[in-house]
Homo-oligomer: A and B are copies of this chain.
């Protein structure tokens, strides 16, 4: 069951109260793949500039990322620079330089077109639709989006919704797209527009999965130290999709389990800068954390 991700491959410069990085590996496709590859091989489609530290990316890719779909273009790589507040609750974008990402036209290599599980990272919804034109018969398509596209291309985002199975957004995005501040009503609004499932991520609190038949809540893993929240949502998506791809099981109970793998991967992502935590992470650590989630919410009904 092949798993494909299309998204940004960036260089992040992040300042947090605990230190800072410069030109570290980042971008939605990279966070997704770094987390997902631990569970299942990931096919990545994206673009990098001539200045991208390919050695580091190859190093990461050794863990199970197929870079056949990574295009090298002349010019600068996509760069994002941001700063988090002392409590990590707010972040300020200091600089965004799109570079070669501005002209990104995702081309899915022939070998990837039979991908069964597809994740459309946060890029222009018109490009997300174009990716879907290139994959043959995916079993499950999930996508992300952001405030910028909801504001500037709502009609295209809504068209996209008609073609995806799972929308994965954060609470602010769910509120913005639906125009409803209640996230459960917002999720229902989204379900009426195409997706059979909606995942609403609530950062430090957890995430909600809603379908017509199910409502599932997974808390965020209780961390006493959070280093860098960047990429947690994409790592969540990576854990979620990779668990589904490796098990090839879309039963509602298994989708719940995928939510837990997502939340676990999101929690690992924030324990170090960028994707550093995934360099050394073992499947045993992941399994242990998934079990801890089970204990975290465990109670028995008596009557």
Contact = CB atoms under 8 A, between A and B. Distances in A.
Contacts of A253: 299-300
Interface string A277-292: 0000000000100110
A302 B87 contact: no
Interface stretch (A92-100, A104-112, A128-136, A178-186): A178-186
Interface residues of A, number: 40
Contact of A303 (B86, B218, B287): B287
A216 B297 CA distance: 6
Nearest to A219: B217
A223 interface: yes
A302 B257 contact: yes
A185 B224 contact: yes
Contacts of A102: none
Contacts of A184: 222-224
Contacts of A37: none
A219 B222 contact: no
Contact of A301 (B185, B219, B291, B302): B291
Interface of A: 86-87, 89, 181-182, 184-185, 188, 202, 205-206, 208, 215-219, 222-226, 253, 256-257, 259-260, 287, 290-291, 293-294, 296-303
Given A217-B222, A253-B299, 15 more contacts: A86-B181, A89-B181, A184-B224, A185-B224, A205-B206, A206-B217, A215-B222, A216-B296, A216-B298, A219-B219, A257-B300, A257-B301, A257-B302, A259-B299, A293-B299
